[in-house]
Amino acid sequence: MSEAERPQIYLVTPPEFDLEVFPQRLAAVLDSTEVACVRLALASRDEDRVARAADALRDVAHARDVALVIEKHVLLVERLGLDGVHLTDGARGLRNLRKDLGEEAIIGAFCGVTRHEGIAAAESGADYVAFGPVGATPLGDGSVADTDLFQWWSEMIEVPVVAEGAVSVELVEKLGPFTDFFGIGEEIWGSDDPAKALAVLLAPLG
């Protein structure tokens, strides 16, 4: 697989992490592998907690010329100097959000396993559309975004697509030719050496 065809890596933070430890873990991964973007995906609804995490990770990411987007918290993007937002409810509100944040902001949309929702997000101005989970997981309703969806998207739609959720070595090999990004998060953060775990996961890409 050539460099031009090789999917890029999009890292997703854990829903909860230790601010004294995680920025260093993230830095080690960013220093080991070329990463296109990091998503701050904290489950916390504590504004101060989210803001402190964003400040810490922004410094780590931007020092390495890596974009940092935040999950859901639209109002914090400009306030905290972040690069954009990741929406978790497809195309809903995306068109107006694009007007509010401007053309420079990154706006991504998670669209589950629904092709129609993905198309709506793309038409509304999303910079990327994410589908998932791509692997089996006990979470959610059991639906899986299959290879056919990514193959169709890669052939028909120009907006970049992200494959995420329960990514495995086998799925990296299978989906590699049809996705622009792999969204990687929980697959590596539980490891003692996330950088090594990421390298193992991405081995099929060469």
Would you list the DSSP string of 4-22?
TTSPEEEEE--SS--TTTH
Cα torsion 94, 81, 78, 44: sign = positive
Type of residue found at 164: E
What are the CA-CA distances from residue 86 to residues 72, 108, 121, 156 (Å)? 6, 5, 12, 23
The 10s digit of each residue's pLDDT in 172-192 is 999 999 999 999 999 999 999
What pLDDT score does 140 carry? Answer: 77
* Fold adopted by 8-205: TIM Barrel (3.20.20)
Q: Answer yes or no: is pLDDT of 139 > 90.
A: no
Q: Answer yes or no: is pLDDT of 2 > 90.
A: no
| Chain centroid, CA 15 distance in Å | 13
What pLDDT score does 138 carry? Answer: 83
Residues 162 and 108: beta-carbon distance below 8 Å: yes
The 10s digit of each residue's pLDDT in 15-41 is 999 999 999 999 999 999 999 999 999
Tell me the pLDDT band of 4, cut-offs 50, 70 and 90. low
The 10s digit of each residue's pLDDT in 72-122 is 999 999 999 999 999 999 999 999 999 999 999 999 999 999 999 999 999
Count CB neighbours of 152 within 10 A.
13
What pLDDT score does 171 carry? Answer: 98
What's the mean pLDDT when you consider all of the chain?
95
φ/ψ of 10, rounded to 5, equals: -125, 105
Helix (H, G, I), strand (E, B) or coil at 195: helix
Phi-psi region of 84 (alpha: psi -120 to 50; beta: other; left: phi over 0): left
Residue 60 buriedness (CB in 10 A; 0-12 / 13-18 / 19+): buried
What are the CA-CA distances from residue 150 to residues 145, 164, 192, 203 (Å)? 8, 11, 32, 20
φ/ψ of 39, rounded to 5, equals: -110, 120
